[in-house]
Structure 1
Amino acid sequence: MEDETIEYRLINGRRYHNLSNSMYFVANDDEEANRLSRYHDAIKDIWGGLFNSPVEEKLRQGARVIDIGCGSGIWILDMAQQYPNSTFVGIDISPILPSEGCPTNVKFVQHNVLDGLPFANSSFDLVHEKFMTGAFTETQWKEKIIPEMIRLARPDGWVESLECEITSSDESVTMRVTKALHDFMRLKGMNPTIGKEIPHIFENTNAFLEIRDQLKIIDLGTKHDKSAEESLKFYIGGLKSAKGFLANSMNVTPEDYDALLETIYFETEKHSTYCNQYRICAHKKIQI
């Protein structure tokens, strides 16, 4: 049994969380921070910008924004540069947040959102999160994360979510590894397709005037455009980051696991492999 008094543990040379209330099974080291940062520009290309909520004018005038699970902080830093009149807060459980050279309108806080966030009700004009499918159980999404996002949003403010899932043909190594990932997540109480269900969860809260959901289907691999290639690298990088748990779950050696990921990279040339990305923007009611 792991010693839960130790905040982090090392597996195959990668650092992971060791917190009893955190399901997050991806590494939390510099290599993972770099993976998140490298994909930032591709996300902007895929979606045509940094956000989809209609808050552009408010950001130019001066708004408060929080990014929950901000990772390397690159989204916050990019937003802060484009909207100097607004203030930005990045929250993440991992110790990979920028510590030097941050703009004056940025604050980063290392904190576990499952413990509740240290901000007053209705503190932010935009509450943002992305790529947190592997961080929370379905129950935590419904009972803690989404209610906390709603609590932090100001009346007439916006809550925005971006999540994804991978699909490939049944015969492929990609599908074998993806299925193993999904099976592992479900054993932990996670929902690997939570992204497409978030609009329904939002609806059930009765907290929003309007909910906008959009799907982008991204073909993966080098035979497509740059965003497709970067999306594939991001996906494989995530699987590498999860090796400490997933190789053991699949009952393969770390070396055999690496070989499977190498096959995935080349497999996209002959199999139809794609990523579904779901972006949901919800307009909070003035009174709930």
Structure 2
Amino acid sequence: MGNKNSRSKHERSVIKNIQEFNQIESDQERHEKLLEYYFSNDTDFMDRLHVFHFLRQHVFQSNFSSPIEDKLIEGGYKVLDIGCGPGTWSLDLSSKHANSNFIGIDVEPMFPHEIKPNNVKFIEADVSNGLSFGDNEFDFTHIELMRLIYTSDKWDFIFSEFIRVTKPGGYIEVSGRRNEDVVRAPIYSKLMDIVNISGTKRNLDVNLIYNLESKFELHPNIENVHRIEKKFIIGPNGDKIGLITQDLALTHFKTGPLSKILPEEMGISEEEYKSMIEKDLTEEFEQSCSESIYVRIWAQKQLM
């Protein structure tokens, strides 16, 4: 459960930092400030998710690609963030758009429970079990980085839920990382291949990002499907973004389930695996130009 006071302190810190960053008038200065702050931050799991949010925001120069900015500014807009994690995306947007409302859901309740703006609500829920909201309830439905969460047989139902709860004329946006046709140095390429192989063994749709457009287009009440991709280099050759991504990648491989799954899949000891990540992979990032590509796909629900 954790210490209540520690959790509240962390929640206050997240809100305070987002509010301070949003006071910076220049978008470029704001993005640079975010990068400087998060590159110096520690790397526990929740902080890494915060970093991922601001990294993607910097790469795309926005929190979303759907054409909804004017509606958010106008107010009265209702937004659903599925798989919200610690709630960084919703908190960031809610601090800028006080007259719109945001709901974040996640199966793991790592989001703020006490300290949050009045226009944000977080709910512990699993989208694969169905959403508790009514039909046509949200103006914008958003989901990120969940291709390795749900098995392939669940995604058709999950997509139908996205569409069901979105209002006619509203937008649905899904984003993630593209793993095929990406330039990668040998060690990083091998690790990512094994991650995909392991995911496939667990019946995860590792190619979900490639199938999104066709999934949208299968629904008769969906139109105006769009796609945008942003590419950058991992490691020092990718400048500050590359250094942040390298730090995230190394920590991702060294901690959590991957630190147990990957050495077993590779047939090596955990000590050998640790050395490969800390020494070999780090050196490879420094000497190579491995790519990372983020994708956003968004579509509009037809007006009735």
TM-score normalised by structure 2 residue count: 0.79
**Of the two structures, which has the highest relative contact order with CA contacts closer than 8 Å and spacing of 6 or more?**
1
**Conserved? CA contact 2:237–2:288, under 8 Å:** no
Q: Which moved more, 1:255-264 or 1:269-278?
A: 255-264
In the alignment, what sits opposite 2:227? Answer: 213
Kindly indicate whether residue 265 of structure 2 is the aligned counterpart of residue 249 of structure 1.
Answer: yes
1:223 match: secondary structure: helix
- Written as runs of structure 1 = structure 2, the 5 A alignment for 1:126-275 is 126-141=140-155, 143-166=156-179, 167-169=182-184, 172-239=186-253, 240-241=255-256, 242-262=258-278, 263-275=280-292
Q: Which runs of 4+ in 1 moved over 4 A?
A: none
Report the residue type matching 1:184 in the other structure. S
* Percent of aligned pairs with the same amino acid: 27
| Cα deviation digits, residues 185-225 of structure 1 (max 9, x gap) | 11111232321321121111223120110111221112222
1:225–1:249 distance in 2 versus 1, CA, 3 Å: same
Q: Which moved more, 1:146-155 or 1:187-196?
A: 187-196
1:224 match: secondary structure: helix
1:269–1:193 distance in 2 versus 1, CA, 3 Å: farther
Structure 2 residue aligned with 1:45, among 40, 49, 58? 58
Shift of 1:68: 0.6
Shift of 1:273: 0.8
Report the residue type matching 1:165 in the other structure. R
1:191 match: secondary structure: coil
1:164 match: secondary structure: strand
**Conserved? CA contact 1:196–1:278, under 8 Å:** no
- Written as runs of structure 1 = structure 2, the 5 A alignment for 1:93-108 is 93-108=107-122
Shift of 1:173: 1.1
In the alignment, what sits opposite 1:282? Answer: 299
**Conserved? CA contact 1:39–1:230, under 8 Å:** no
**Structure 1 Cα separation of the partners of residues 64 and 57 of structure 2:** 8
What is the aligned length? 256
| Cα deviation digits, residues 80-103 of structure 1 (max 9, x gap) | 001100111111111311122110
**Structure 1 Cα separation of the partners of residues 106 and 92 of structure 2:** 17
**Conserved? CA contact 1:125–1:153, under 8 Å:** yes
**Structure 2 Cα separation of the partners of residues 227 and 272 of structure 1:** 13
1:243 match: secondary structure: helix
Bigger share in helix: 2
**Structure 2 Cα separation of the partners of residues 195 and 237 of structure 1:** 24
In the alignment, what sits opposite 1:122? Answer: 136
1:278 match: secondary structure: strand
Bigger share in strand: 1
**Conserved? CA contact 1:168–1:174, under 8 Å:** no
TM-score normalised by structure 1 residue count: 0.83
1:195–1:232 distance in 2 versus 1, CA, 3 Å: farther
1:93–1:247 distance in 2 versus 1, CA, 3 Å: farther
**Structure 1 Cα separation of the partners of residues 296 and 97 of structure 2:** 22
In the alignment, what sits opposite 1:32? Answer: 45
Kindly indicate whether residue 87 of structure 2 is the aligned counterpart of residue 87 of structure 1.
Answer: no
- Mind listing any 5+ residue stretches in structure 1 that lack a counterpart? 1-29
**Structure 1 Cα separation of the partners of residues 244 and 221 of structure 2:** 36
**Structure 1 Cα separation of the partners of residues 225 and 63 of structure 2:** 18
Report the residue type matching 2:301 in the other structure. K
